[in-house]
Chains A and B, each alone.
Chain A
Amino acid sequence: MVGRTPEYLGKKIEAYDVKVSVLAVLVLCFSILGFAAWSVVRPWGIAGLNNTGPHGLSELLYAYSSAVGNNGSAFAGLTGNTPWLNTTLGIAMLCGRFLFIVPVLALAGNLARKKLVPESAGSFPVSGLTFVILLVGTVLIVGALTFFPALALGPIVEHFIMVGSGKLF
């Protein structure tokens, strides 16, 4: 948006860099949403749930998000110790760590190889308030865009039901 092809910290961002970065984003999106969606449509997938309705969905979404993020925590309402959850949460954790790391390392290697573009008044500024707003905005919007529909059926609708009719699951 500054009249130059994109660059970050003096390195030009080209097709290859974009390719591996989006691959990393896709890994996260696939492993969180993919496993959670698979779980909810199979009886053995929801076997571990102690709560029904939107809260149950929140529990599964949280479990996979946490596993992919290599944290591994889960709601108390979810019995994680079922064969399905043990296996898939484990795989999700592997994806979140190693499948994610491969494209990121490729990105780092490729960027390191590149020539440094000297900074000037025409360079994309990567400090200051504008960049902070841009970065936070992008993270929020792209993140929200990816997870908003799933969250809408889970915690969001749960919240409105709780506020609206005082019903809990």
Chain B
Amino acid sequence: MAAKKLSLFDRHIIVQALGASFQKLNPATMMGNPVMFVTEVGALITTIGLFFSSPGESVGFGLQVAIWLWVTVLFANFAEAMAEGRGKAQADALRKTRTHTIANRTLASGAIEQVPAEMLRKGDVVIITAGEMIPADGEVMVGVASVDESAITGESAPVIRESGGDRSAVTGGTRVLSDQIKVVVTANPGESFMDRMISLVEGAQRQKTPNEIALIILLSALTIIFLVVILTLKCFGLYSGISFTITVLVALLVCLIPTTIGGLLSAIGIAGIDRLVQKNVLAMSGRAVEAAGDIDVLLLDKTGTITLGNRQATEFIPAPGLKPEELADAAQLASLADETPEGRSIVVLAKQYGLRGRNISEMPQAAFINFTAHTRMSGVDIDGRQIRKGAPDAVKNFIGQDFPRPVVEAVESVSRSGGTSLVVAEKNRVFGVIHLKDIVKGGLKDRFTRFRAMGIKTVMITGDNKLTAEAIAKEAGMDDYLAEARPEDKLALIRKEQAAGHLVAMTGDGTNDAPALAQADVGVAMNTGTQAAKEAGNMVDLDSNPTKLIEIVEIGKQMLITRGALTTFSIANDVAKYFAIIPAMLISLFPEIAPLNIMGLRSPQSAILSAVIFNALIIVALIPLALRGVQFRPLSAASLLRRNLLIYGLGGLIAPFAGIKLIDMLIGILPWS
């Protein structure tokens, strides 16, 4: 499932959503959304009212109001169906990874039988050979294999899966490219990781998130208030000598209750999860997406997240009396056969000292010594010389004497700056020090600065010593660091931050990360990680890119802002609708009220109709905004509030005045009016 960006106007989705809008008219479904339920009841009442026409009211007017009320309900349903349709399209893409495969199940007797993948149960053991599809989620028991996981990650490079350790989880629907592995199945059909994701994305199992529930309570309360307002208005009207018709009262009610946000609310929630899926992140619940917006502490692993995975040589510091070229020459010789990224970076750096590129094949007399965990050195024996490079203490043992003072100082200064030093030496001569540095990923510093402006603290987690950690954290522009961290330290740090009232997000992939992932408010497990890590977290990143945590937080915030902005807009809209409808209702008895008709609408009926039409159309007009989300800017809360209040508050106050006036004018030029 490559991160596919769906067009907002995908024809297939729109056609399906149109059909679904009518199916959703079922009152049992509508009950879940009190605002739209009241609208539907209102539409029903006006429709029935058509057959009992009240005096002084044309059937044509009643019919138009009734039609537009139904359209309002349909538009709201359409918004939800659009969001669900987009989710379904994503889910279908995920489901395509599921093909019917035949699994080789091993029986207790040791015999192998072939069964369809759907018949596999938790605990079954299957054997998968190169070229075969992995039939179900599982854990590698025996063997090591390279697996093509492009079906779920979109990443074409194969990954290694092996028994034990942190890379033992395999996902159903991916293909084994080499070797043979024995896998114990960890999920029953329909309960696998992917199945749960699909149903969540489809919205089938969507539960309302806490913030959504709070907002629905607020919207329901507003609906009740307006019901009271309308009912009492009927009484006040009777006292004043006006008998407001049911049609007019229902029209006013529907215009006042927050139909805009009521109609778009679930679409916003579904679209939030959908946006994560487009980033190849699967959230276990909508709640997690919402929590992401509240995060104010980010725990980021150093390696892979903040720094590129590998250290690189950045500097040669020669021993006293030597030229840098001499050190570079020795370092290059010692690293020629060193295929590690560090070794290659030394060769690259040496070239900058004007050295001719050497080739191993030119030196048949050379014996290359590989790095081992025991010697902690690598190098070359050539022409009777033994050149070695390695950790300072290992090289010291090798040469059997202390380093000259300046070399010791160079090693210390490299550590202070957060780097790692390698000493290059031969039997009785020290050439100097190579400075290996963690390379901080580009653009992170800016990003962290913006995060700070948003009130989010970033903490770097690393197994490095304090000195190195501090230097890198400073270079990356992070607020804090946790050095020499063990998994339990991570968990302790999360607990400490949470006790202080913070919400913490982290990424992890190992089984030993699982407790911390479970404890964190947002725990993003890497897809390459173990099953335990994936179960513990509440999101999974299919691309296994820890930097994505930052984007997850942004999507969470964007969803919450969209919800708040549209609520504000919806309520601010009511002011204009009052100025359209109230004068229209009173003018027959009190012509003096005319100045209140500040929009100068043509007739009472046209005024009421314009307000109802605006109320319906604004839902459709805002569907793209609800699905895409408002534009996210990393600003402080104060400037965000100012900005959004101006756009959605003031905009929501003004827009309907213009909109209703425009609709009124359009109705005016219709031939039959």
Contacts and interface: CB of A to CB of B under 8 A. Distances in A.
A105 interface: no
B502 A118 contact: yes
Contact of A15 (B217, B239, B453, B500): B217
Contacts of B582: 148-149, 152
Contacts of A18: 214-215, 217-218, 221
Contacts, number: 198
B213 interface: yes
Residue among B225, B233, B252, B456 facing the most chain A CB atoms (10 A cut-off): B225
B666 interface: no
Nearest to A154: B236
A123 B455 contact: yes
A63 interface: no
Nearest to B575: A141
B560 interface: yes
Nearest to B652: A141
B240 A57 contact: yes
B560 A5 contact: yes
B224 A41 contact: no
Interface string B487-507: 000000000000011100000
B235 interface: yes
Contact of A145 (B578, B590, B594): B578
A6 B294 CA distance: 9
A94 interface: no
B593 interface: yes
A34 B649 CA distance: 30
Interface in A118-165: 118, 120-125, 128, 130-131, 133-134, 137, 141-142, 144-146, 148-150, 152-154, 156-157, 160-161, 163-165
B452 interface: yes
Given A41-B239, A117-B501, A160 B641 contact: no
A53 B242 CA distance: 12
Contacts of A122: 296, 454-456, 636-637
A33 B229 contact: yes
B213 to A, nearest CB: 5
Interface stretch (A22-30, A72-80, A83-91): A22-30
A128 to B, nearest CB: 7
Interface residues on B, range: 35 or more
B221 A165 contact: no
A1 interface: yes
Contacts of B222: 22
Interface in A35-55: 36-38, 40-41, 46, 53-54
Nearest to A5: B211
A115 interface: yes
Contact of A1 (B233, B564, B575): B564
A contacts with B: majority SS: helix
A124 B232 contact: no
A42 to B, nearest CB: 10
B contacts with A: majority SS: helix
Contacts of A17: 214
B557 A3 contact: yes
Contacts of B592: 157, 160-161, 163-165
A2 interface: yes
Contacts of A37: 231-232, 234-236
A115 B240 CA distance: 52
B637 A124 contact: yes
Contact of B636 (A36, A57, A121, A145): A121
B217 A2 contact: no
A124 B636 CA distance: 9
Interface string A1-20: 11111100010011101110
Contacts of A150: 229, 232-233, 236
Given A153-B237, A161-B590, A165-B592, A34 B232 contact: yes
Interface in B202-247: 210-211, 213-215, 217-218, 221-222, 224-226, 228-240
A116 interface: yes
Contacts of B557: 3-4
B648 interface: yes
Contacts of B556: 3
A38 B235 contact: yes
Contacts of B110: none
Interface string B230-270: 11111111111000000000001000100000000000000
Nearest to B595: A160
Interface in B547-595: 556-558, 560-561, 564-565, 568, 571-572, 574-575, 578, 582, 586, 590, 592-595
A119 B225 CA distance: 34
Contacts of A26: 221, 224-225, 228
B210 to A, nearest CB: 6
Contacts of B224: 26
Residue among A30, A134, A145, A149 facing the most chain B CB atoms (10 A cut-off): A149
B239 A46 contact: yes
A123 B637 contact: yes
Residue among A29, A121, A146 facing the most chain B CB atoms (10 A cut-off): A121
B644 interface: yes
Contacts of A134: 641, 645, 649
B162 interface: no
A145 B574 contact: yes
Interface in B440-493: 452-457
B595 A120 contact: no
B210 A121 contact: no
30 contacts: A1-B640, A3-B556, A3-B632, A4-B560, A5-B211, A5-B214, A5-B290, A5-B293, A10-B501, A15-B214, A18-B214, A26-B224, A26-B225, A26-B228, A36-B232, A40-B239, A54-B240, A54-B590, A57-B236, A57-B240, A117-B502, A120-B455, A121-B638, A122-B637, A130-B641, A141-B572, A141-B574, A145-B575, A153-B233, A157-B586
Interface of B: 210-211, 213-215, 217-218, 221-222, 224-226, 228-240, 252, 256, 290, 293-294, 296, 452-457, 500-502, 556-558, 560-561, 564-565, 568, 571-572, 574-575, 578, 582, 586, 590, 592-596, 632, 636-638, 640-642, 644-645, 648-649
Interface of A: 1-6, 10, 13-15, 17-19, 22-23, 25-26, 29-30, 33-34, 36-38, 40-41, 46, 53-54, 56-57, 115-118, 120-125, 128, 130-131, 133-134, 137, 141-142, 144-146, 148-150, 152-154, 156-157, 160-161, 163-165
Q: Shortest 8 CB-CB distances between A and B: which pairs? A: A122-B455, A3-B557, A120-B455, A22-B221, A37-B232, A1-B564, A121-B455, A40-B239
Given A10-B501, A17-B214, A40-B235, 19 more contacts: A1-B640, A1-B644, A6-B211, A29-B229, A37-B234, A40-B236, A46-B239, A53-B240, A120-B455, A120-B456, A125-B638, A130-B638, A131-B641, A145-B256, A150-B229, A152-B586, A152-B593, A157-B590, A160-B594
